[in-house]
């Protein structure tokens, strides 16, 4: 048995992995959960699902549990917790981690163990985050499909036959499968945004210099950035607070400090903003080929923004020259950083990496001069465009998640993509602008594949952009849909994402009760109310007991949950949950007739610890009754 398991002192009584980072941070600070409980729960989740997903490729659970114990002890001594106190994270396998294997996805570094942390890792650790391991990447981060010769491919939790995107594909997949609650990533041509879109999470490409990068090989690089990924915009903002701020070693680091939050629970309030009058430029394609399925998912987002009060206009910036600028400086970067490796190990680097290095070695001074001038011209046009609008809304990716066995996308709408970079244009053309850009969940294709909306803000307006993304997220709630993969876990329930659209009756179950002592307290209050004359048992505070689900339906249940049934009206209904079914006593509804119908349910854990239940089979008389209280 693994050492981290032996060290456990308590059972997990709820799905802690379903909570978002802001919620977990609050529970940890209030000592309603311990860091050890949280770490163990997420380590268990990794062991349960990552065999299928392949996202967390190097694990350090024992080290994580030691750090969690230290975090709990520090809090018990009254020490002020860091912003990320006790939160389980993982680091991209391109970022150095002292004492923990870092391979860069390259066979040449399969056993490499750095002796220092990258700055982004250091800042997360200093803020109290606890690393569970390293997330998978393409070899040297080349491309938006996460596969390498060391660990193989990372699969999309929403469909294991599909790509998780890249290069932060391991991070996005781990977040989607609720293995971690925060992750770091990098973005040169879309590596924070594309995998976020593919995996129904949130990825922010911050303004260059917002998150300082160290060590660096080019102090003037404004194309490659590092930044946060999470399942919600508020969680992304939480991590950005910990990552941003100047560093004396980084010449282009922005001096501006992040907004101040005394504790994580204040962050959603900081992000709240009224979008009335905000001018949003809407472009369904940026003049690029986009799959019809992606267009169809994104189309309703235009009206969502309008309904939020934004003034939406059809417009797109002139991005001419951005293609040449990106490819030139990307090739130069590859030649600078990896050229010596190619010379020392010819034939031992993957074809994408070798091709990009070779293109860089072919560059002339004239090529670099022309790209520099075109970049300056583009920057002027972008400034003019954003003087009239605050936000650009456009696709993150031109395609939905594709077959995981492909090397890259070779065709879009009949248009051939000749290199591994071509299909990523909707992201990398935005990279060249130097503007902050975020991918926020926007919906699903008919086949259940996630699609993200890209929102691009004004220069250095990262926090204002997060406010727009937060409003869109709150209005759409697509990020709450968990992968079907999680339905098969012990004690987990899954809601088919299309059920809501079929007009079936919905029974909503509120957030999980937290620690065991609170569960006992609520049970006692419920029992006390139930003893009053004229009250139905459970009428005051109905609890659904999810204890003995038949293995054939949902697997052997190891944990016990007691979610509380919420109603839109004051009347209460007695109910209990047995064998994966919810039985509602019609007498509790005040109905004169009775029925013996059992509603067959499946449900899904939301990112903030909520469950959504819906009937899969409902008789006509039940339909007449249920809408009166749900």
Cis previous bond, 5, omega within 30: no
Whole-number Å distance between alpha carbons of 450 and 460: 28
At residue 227, the 3 state secondary structure works out as strand
- Using CB atoms within 10 A of its CB, is residue 245 exposed (0-12), middle (13-18) or buried (19+)? middle
Among 131, 163, 191, 492, the one annotated catalytic: 191
Q: Structure tokens of 74?
A: 């520090």
Phi/psi zone of residue 265: left (φ > 0), alpha (ψ -120 to 50 degrees), beta?
alpha
Is the bond into 215 cis (omega within 30 degrees of 0)? yes
Active-site residue, from 131, 167, 197, 244? 167
Is 447 exposed, middle or buried, given 0-12, 13-18 or 19+ CB atoms closer than 10 A?
exposed
Number of H helices, E strands in the chain: 18, 23
* Interatomic CA distance for residues 613 and 510, integer angstroms: 10
Residue reference for tokens 């995996």:
199
C-alpha 565 chain-centroid distance: 27
* Whole-angstrom distance, CA of residue 273 vs CA of residue 267: 12
Residue 144 a catalytic site member: no
264 with 83: CB under 8 angstroms? yes
Instruction: Tell me if 606 sits within 8 A of 566, measured CB to CB.
Output: no
Give the relative orientation of helices 292-307 and 462-476 as an angle to the nearest 10 degrees.
100
Report the distance separating Cα 388 and Cα 377, nearest Å: 18
Tokens encoding 527: 């029992």
| Cα(83)–Cα(213) distance, integer angstroms | 20
Instruction: Name the strand (E) or helix (H) holding 194.
Output: helix 194-199
Q: Give dist(CA 174, CA 49) in Å, integer.
A: 9
> What is the DSSP secondary structure assignment for residue 563, as one 8-state letter?
E
The residue from 92, 106, 134, 244 that is catalytic is 92
Q: Are 193 and 455 in contact (CB under 8 A)?
A: no
Pairing, β 56-59 against β 130-135: antiparallel
| Residue 383 among the catalytic residues | no
| 92 flagged as catalytic | yes
**Contact call for residues 173 and 53 (beta carbons, < 8 A):** yes
Name the burial class of residue 18, with classes exposed (0-12), middle (13-18) and buried (19+) by CB atoms within 10 angstroms of its CB: buried
Cis peptide, bond prior to residue 167, ω within 30 of zero: yes
Sign of the CA dihedral 80, 82, 84, 85? negative
Among all chains, which residue has been given the structure tokens 């919906």? 443
Neighbours of 329 (CB within 10 A): 24
Nearest to 303 by CA among 424, 417, 472, 173: 472
Which of the residues are catalytic?
A: 92, 167, 191
């Amino acid at each position: 048995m693994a050492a981290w398991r032996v060290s456990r002192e308590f059972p997990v009584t709820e799905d802690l992995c379903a909570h978002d980072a802001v919620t977990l941070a609050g529970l940890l600070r209030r000592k309603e959960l311990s860091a050890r409980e949280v770490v163990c729960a997420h380590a268990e989740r990794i062991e349960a699902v990552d065999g299928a997903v392949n996202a967390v490729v190097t694990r350090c659970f024992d080290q994580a549990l030691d750090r969690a114990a230290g975090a709990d002890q520090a809090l018990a001594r009254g020490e002020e917790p860091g912003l990320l106190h006790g939160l389980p994270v993982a680091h991209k396998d391109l970022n150095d981690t002292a004492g923990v294997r870092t391979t860069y996805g390259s066979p040449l570094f399969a056993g490499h163990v750095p002796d220092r942390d990258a700055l982004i890792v250091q800042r997360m650790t200093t803020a109290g985050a606890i690393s569970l391991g390293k997330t998978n990447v393409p070899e040297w981060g080349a491309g938006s499909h996460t596969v390498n010769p060391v660990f193989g491919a990372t699969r999309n939790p929403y469909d294991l036959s599909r790509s998780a995107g890249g290069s932060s594909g391991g991070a996005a997949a781990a977040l989607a499968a609720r293995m971690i609650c925060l992750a770091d990533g990098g973005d040169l041509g879309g590596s924070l945004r594309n995998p976020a879109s593919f995996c129904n999470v949130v990825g922010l490409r911050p303004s260059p210099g917002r998150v300082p990068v160290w060590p660096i090989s080019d102090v003037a690089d404004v194309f490659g950035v590092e930044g946060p990924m999470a399942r919600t915009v508020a969680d992304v903002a939480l991590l950005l607070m910990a990552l941003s701020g100047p560093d004396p070693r980084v010449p282009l680091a922005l001096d501006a400090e992040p907004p101040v939050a005394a504790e994580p629970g204040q962050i959603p309030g900081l992000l709240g903003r009224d979008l009335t009058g905000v001018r949003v430029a809407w472009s369904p394609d940026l003049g690029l080929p986009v799959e019809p399925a992606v267009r169809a998912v994104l189309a309703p987002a235009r009206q969502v923004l309008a309904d939020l009060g934004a003034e939406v206009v059809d417009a797109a910036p002139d991005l001419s020259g951005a293609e040449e600028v990106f490819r030139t400086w990307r090739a130069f970067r590859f030649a600078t950083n990896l050229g010596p490796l190619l010379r020392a190990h010819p034939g031992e680097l993957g074809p994408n990496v070798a091709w990009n290095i070779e293109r860089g070695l072919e560059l002339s001074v004239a090529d670099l001069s022309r790209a520099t001038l075109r970049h300056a011209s583009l920057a002027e046009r972008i400034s003019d465009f954003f003087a009239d609008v605050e936000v650009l809304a456009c696709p993150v990716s031109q395609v939905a998640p594709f077959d995981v066995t492909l090397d890259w996308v070779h065709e879009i709408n009949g248009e051939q993509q000749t290199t591994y970079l071509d299909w990523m244009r909707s992201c990398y053309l935005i990279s060249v602008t130097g503007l902050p850009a975020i991918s926020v969940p926007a919906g699903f294709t008919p086949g259940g594949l996630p699609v993200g909306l890209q929102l691009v803000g004004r220069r250095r307006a990262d926090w204002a952009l997060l406010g727009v993304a937060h409003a869109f997220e709150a209005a759409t709630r697509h990020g709450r849909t968990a992968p079907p993969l999680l339905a098969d876990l012990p004690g987990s329930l899954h809601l088919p994402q299309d059920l809501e659209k079929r007009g079936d009756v919905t029974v909503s179950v509120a957030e999980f009760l937290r620690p065991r002592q609170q569960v006992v307290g609520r049970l006692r209050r419920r029992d006390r109310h139930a003893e009053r004359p004229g009250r139905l048992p459970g009428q005051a505070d109905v609890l659904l007991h999810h204890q003995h689900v038949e293995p054939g339906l949902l697997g052997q249940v190891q944990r016990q949950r007691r979610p509380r049934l919420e109603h839109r009206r004051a009347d209460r209904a007695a109910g209990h949950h047995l064998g994966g079914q919810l039985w509602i006593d019609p007498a509790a509804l005040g109905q004169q007739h009775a029925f013996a119908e059992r509603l067959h349910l499946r449900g899904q854990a939301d990112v903030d610890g909520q469950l959504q239940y819906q009937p899969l089979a409902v008789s006509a008389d039940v339909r007449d009754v249920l809408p009166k209280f749900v």
